[in-house]
Amino acid sequence: MLQVDGVSKSYASHQALRDVSFEVAPGEIVAILGPNGAGKSTLMSLIVGLLKPDIGSVTIGGVDPTRMSQSQRSGIGFAPQELGLYPSATVEENLQYFAGLTGAGKKAVRRMARDAAEVFRVEDLFPRRISTLSGGEKRRVHSAIALVARPRLLLLDEPTVGVDVGTRREVIAAVRQLADDGVAVCYSTHYLPEVETLAARVVLLHHGRKVVDGPLAEMWRNDDRSRITFTFDGEAPLLQGTERKGDTLQIEHVGNPGEFVAVFFRSHAHELRNLKAVEIERPSLEDLLIALAPDLGTPGGEIK
């Protein structure tokens, strides 16, 4: 669906993106992560054709977004980081205005506005003026606008910044549903628990470079800092390569804990017959990312 190939982009003398490549397939969610200034918003502007890469190329369904016709462009839904709503108009008027830009007729426009509103649950806000909404409500309307033309590719730039827990959940559920319906989603955020909930693929940008690209499960498999604790009824058996503490056995620095446990069960079936519980503790996503880009953990390189 989306192909970003060797893209670099500079603003005057500042290089915002360096040789970034990745792909997004239909039904896939890619979380674009990185500290402030990493290049996330620049990348989104390039993908929707608002900016042109200095080097490299972007194609969506094989087409360069800067050369798309109006109708091709409506297949891309984009909610930029800055809110773009008409404050004195109502929620319904805002949605219908953006739906109208596709050239659809009056009846279709009303239907498009309703459908998009349903996804981000803003139907109840239809008669309200934008200026009377809370920050979280505005964010939801802003995200819904990206959906009015029923895009096959959706880009949401920090859709959950400054919203409450309930809104965050709704936005995450909506994104999951859209991907399940086959929409390709690029989503930037600083809130790592969302990325885990969505089981998204992670693209981590750092100083304009892509430093990580992979599914979360793979990132955990490639890290060797999991700890496994076996708890027994009564004293734990003495087993080589494990540390015994009373009724528990601990194994540190495990790379692929699922596979490790499977092999451990097979080779120690007899010694494990009094086993009561198995606990696997994995490093947090934040720990994983900091291991991959160490200065992310320092101020200015913040992730939350």
Q: In 60-69, which positions are buried (b, 16+ CB within 10 angstroms) versus exposed (e)?
A: bbeeebeebe
42 binds ligand ADP per the rule CB under 6 A:
yes
Tokens representing residue 61 in the block: 């369904």
Residue 59 in the binding site for Mg ion (CB under 5 A): no
Closer CB to Mg ion, 72 or 81, in the complex = 81
Alpha-helix runs per DSSP H in the chain: 40-47, 70-73, 91-100, 106-119, 135-147, 165-180, 192-198, 216-221, 257-267, 285-292
Short-list 12, 51, 28, CA closest to 20: 51
- In the bound state with ligand ADP, the residue whose beta carbon lies nearer, of 24 and 249, is 24
Q: Kindly give the pairing relationship between strand 226-232 and strand 275-281.
A: antiparallel
Of 130 and 146, which has the nearer Cβ to ligand ADP?
146
Alpha carbons 137 and 175: distance in angstroms, whole number: 16
Helix pair 165-180, 106-119: axis angle to 10 deg: 120
| Beta carbons within 8 Å of 50's beta carbon, 6+ residues apart | none
Q: What would the x/- binding string for ligand ADP be over residues 2 to 21, using CB under 6 A? A: ---------x--x-x-----
CB of 34 to Mg ion, least distance (A): 9
What distance in Å separates the CA atoms of residue 147 and residue 74, rounded to the nearest whole number? 10
Which of these ranges, 39-47, 64-72, 91-99, 240-248, lies near ligand ADP under the rule CB under 6 A?
39-47
From ligand ADP, Mg ion, none, which one binds at residue 143 (CB under 5 to 8 Å depending on kind)? none
What's the number of CA atoms in the CB half-sphere (13 Å) around residue 257?
21
Binding mask 73-92 for Mg ion (x = CB under 5 A): --------x-----------
41 binds Mg ion (CB under 5 A): yes
Question: Which residue is it, tokens 């319906």?
Answer: 181
Partner touching 39 among ligand ADP, Mg ion, none, CB below 5 to 8 Å by kind? ligand ADP
Q: Does 41 bind ligand ADP (CB under 6 A)?
A: yes
Q: How many helices (H) and strands (E) does the chain have?
A: 10, 13
Report whether 231 contacts 237 (CB < 8 A): no
Length of the chain: 304
State the number of binding residues for ligand ADP (CB under 6 A). 11
Please identify, among the stretches 32-40, 110-118, 134-142, 248-256, the one whose residues bind ligand ADP according to the rule CB under 6 A: 32-40
The residues pairing with 229 across neighbouring beta strands, listed in sequence order, are 250, 279
296 binds ligand ADP (CB under 6 A): no
Structure tokens at 150: 């029923």
Binding mask 216-255 for ligand ADP (x = CB under 6 A): ----------------------------------------
Helix (H, G, I), strand (E, B) or coil at 213: strand
Nearer to ligand ADP, 66 or 132 (CB): 66
Tokens representing 135 are 């920050």
Is residue 38 a contact residue for ligand ADP (CB under 6 A)?
Answer: yes
Q: Does 26 sit near ligand ADP (CB under 6 A)?
A: no
Q: Residue 48 or 99: which CB sits closer to ligand ADP? A: 48
Question: 21 to 40, contacts with Mg ion by CB under 5 A?
Answer: 40
Residues that bind Mg ion (CB under 5 A): 40-41, 81
Residues that bind ligand ADP (CB under 6 A): 11, 14, 16, 34, 36-42
